[in-house]
Each structure stands twice: as C-alpha cells, then as structure tokens.
Structure 1
Amino acid sequence: MRLRAVIFDVDGTLVDSQADILAAMSAAFEAEGIKPPSRDEVLGIVGLSLDVAIPMLAPQSDHAACTRMVQGYKDAYTNLRLLQGADVSSPLYAGAREALARLKEQDEILLGVATGKSRRGLDKLIEAHGLAKTFLTQQVADDHPSKPNPSMLLQAMHELGVEARDMVMIGDTSFDMDMARAAGVHFIAVSWGYHETSRLAGADVVIEDFAQLDGALDLIWSKAND
C-alpha cells in the first residue's frame, strides 16, 4: 500500500482564529504605545512565525521592542483563550471535523499539521477540539524557521516516511503555498482563509469548502500517477 500524507495549516484553514489574532496583536502594539496595524495588515502576515511577522508590522521598532511585542502577543492570546476556551475562540470551520474524519478512515492517508503556532498553542487547540489522535506529525514554529522555509514539510516527510510526490499541503496563505513549492509537494488552497485567492494562483487546486477536499485530493493523486 502506497502511503500518502495530507498536511494542514491551522489558522485560517482548520480554525477561524482571526478575532483573537487581531485582539492579541492590538494589545501587543498598544502596550508599546504604537498604533496597531490594520486588520488587513495583520491577516496578511498570519502563518509567519511571530519573530518574523511582528518586525514586518512594526518596521520602525527596534529588536528589543519587537521582542516585547512578541511576548505581549503570546500573553494576550493566552488570556483570550483562557477566557473563552480554545474551542470557542478558535472554532473549526464548517466541515473541517468531518473532512478530517473521512481522511483518517483511509489507512493509506497519514494526517499532519504545519503551523506558525507554538507547541503550547497547538496542543491547547488540539485538546479543545478533541483531535488528539488525528495528526501523526505536528510541525510548529518552535522547532523550525518561519514559513515559507520548507523545513516543516521536509521534517514531516521524514517522520511519515513519504516522498514529496505523495504529500499534499493544504493552506490559506501564500506562505503555505510557497513552503509547499519549496518542498516540492502539491498544494491545495482554501478560499475561506486570510489571503485573497488572487495570491494563491500557484495552487494545484482551490477549494471553496471542505466538501470539495476529497475530490481535489483524488485529482492530485491521479495526476501524480500519470
């Protein structure tokens, strides 16, 4: 049996965490006395590691200030999650749970995540949504350079024992797409996330909802076998 891997981004792909992301970023900037970036600016960097994203949003700030804002963001995000619970503050998108369950039932498909979240943040999210036994590989920002560096996907390949041609990355941002391309793996873009689909023109397939995921994967696998 030929094993295949399906790797998901998290924020903007599996869960809608934008309310907490925007609130935490505003809190981090306000603590430094800096005007917070706009919604579009913040969502435009979702997927990058915080130590890369915040200097992009605050180019006028020095390293020390950016370091404080990184920690301020983490603290604010944690507090927001504690107030509401991760399942409420970062709800799964419609159809996500069902799609994961369908894929998990197929013995030849191995599931994973590659996310800009920290290990702590991902663990809390997985626990809140009852997905503890879903992902066989979990790549997080603590252990890798920021997307679009391909390190996360290369490590996932190593852990799962699959080749690049047998892996599909699913994400909502150009950072996910560029990471997939750098790793030599297929890429499915989702239209409901944080980057406009115009920025995802290089995707193998763009899907409008999770009901289309199975067909998109079948299309990619069939082409890979040609």
Structure 2
Amino acid sequence: MKAILFDCDGTIADSCGVICDIMRRTFVAHGLDAPADAATRDIIGLSLDVAIARLHPGVEASLLASLVTGYRTQFRAARVEPGFREMLFPEMRGLIDRLSARDSLLLGMVTGKSRRGVAALCAEHDMAAAFSVVRTADDCPSKPHPAMVLECCEALGVGAQDTLVVGDSIYDVEMARAAGATAIGVAWGTHRPDMLFSAGAAEVAGTPGELGLLIDQWREGGLATARREVLSAVS
C-alpha cells in the first residue's frame, strides 16, 4: 500500500487569487497597507498566523491575532457573496477520482487551510470521500514542519518511504523531505519549478496529465527516468 498526500491551495484548488484578495481586504480593514499579491502568493501554504507574520514582520501578538481573526471573517463573508466559488484546477478532480479508485493507493490532504475551509471546499465539489485522512493548520504546526505528513502516515498505516507529497510550494517539498517522503511539485501554483527542484522535489509536473504519469512512475519504483518518459508521452 502507498499513500499520496495532496496540498490544497495552488495544487488542487485554483484559490491563489481569492487568497490575495482576502489578504488585501484584511490588511486594509486594519488600517495597514495591503501586501503586494506577489508577496501573498509566496506565503500561500503556510499556516495563517505564520503567513501573516511574514507579510508584516515584527507584528505585535495582539495585532497578529486580530489579523488572523479578520482574515477568517473576511473569507466567511466572501463565501456568501453572489457568484463566489473556489474553483479546482482543470483535470485535477478527475485525477483525484482515478487515484482514489485504486485499491493500492490511499489519498490524503495536507494543507494550511483551516478545517472549516477544507470542509467547505470539499462540500462544494463533493470530494470529501476521496481523502482517507486530512491534516490542516488547525491540527498540526505549519509547513514545512513534517507533522502533517507523519500524522497522515500513522493514520493510514503507511511508512513515509511509501508516501508521496504533491504540492506547489517549497514548503510542501521541505515538509515531505523532513518527513522522509518523496515530493513531486506542480508548476501551476505559487512557486517556480526551479524553486521546487532546489527545495528537493524529485520531479515537477507541468500539467495534471503529466502529474498522473509521474505518479505512475513513482508507484512503479522510481522517478529517475520519469522526466524523459513523461515528455515523450505528452509530446
């Protein structure tokens, strides 16, 4: 048995634009300059308190707590606005469904989202059943601490050496490596492929289709020749 643990924002969910918008609203509501979208994108994947502290270095504890609460309030308000949706990246839902149907695989989610946020996204897209285990920012220390991966492995009864982490940020890759798992990065999220490779990703997928091929390569025992074979298969 093997396990695949997916990050959410920037990997499954095309939510980076929404997160940037909510972060701008939150800072402005507190009388602060809104962070640049590029800065916000760079911290997506971290737990909210850690992320905001990086956007506002030296922030006092009381203001940090208020910003965290304000962000969550802004996000809940946005969810009920007409037309609001957290979209999934095209083809990712199909890939997750195909993988979850395989008897030899168990899927999990490891995310900086809150439990409430994960529940809302999974309900919106009817995909909760695909994931046998979920660990969020409410459950574990922020990425890149390995706790999310290690707790999922324990819950699933699968060793880290038989676990793959899929994510779009260096924090996902660093978390996987710290836990002793393999990491595959995805190029459609927050961090560039060169950053993901530098952080220790075994491979970086350019599309969900390529990700599926890389996952098959990993399941069969390795990724040493994956790049050449994948490029040939998708050309």
TM-score (norm 2): 0.91
Q: Percent identity?
A: 38
Partner of 1:106: 102
Partner of 2:86: 90
Q: Which of 25, 28, 32 lines up with 1:27 in the alignment?
A: 25
Structure 1: runs of 5 or more not aligned: none
Distance between the aligned counterparts of 1:25 and 1:11, measured in 2?
A: 14
Deviation readout 1:23-82 (Å, 9 max, x if unpaired): 111111112211011011000000000111111101142111111111111111111122
Summarize the alignment of residues 72-91 of structure 1 with structure 2, pairs less than 5 Å apart.
Answer: 72-84=70-82, 88-91=84-87
**Residue 2 of structure 2 is aligned to residue 4 of structure 1:** yes
Q: CA deviation at 1:213?
A: 2.1
User: Which residue identity is paired with 2:72?
Assistant: K
Distance between the aligned counterparts of 1:224 and 1:161, measured in 2?
A: 21
**Residue 39 of structure 2 is aligned to residue 37 of structure 1:** no
Summarize the alignment of residues 1-226 of structure 1 with structure 2, pairs less than 5 Å apart.
Answer: 3-84=1-82, 88-201=84-197, 202-224=200-222
SS at match of 2:214: helix
SS at match of 1:101: helix
Partner of 2:232: none
Distance between the aligned counterparts of 1:19 and 1:191, measured in 2?
A: 16
Distance between the aligned counterparts of 1:158 and 1:225, measured in 2?
A: 24
Contact 1:5-1:109 at 8 Å conserved across structures: yes
Contact 1:104-1:134 at 8 Å conserved across structures: yes
Aligned residues: 222
Distance between the aligned counterparts of 1:182 and 1:40, measured in 2?
A: 26
Structure 2: runs of 5 or more not aligned: 225-235
SS at match of 2:141: coil
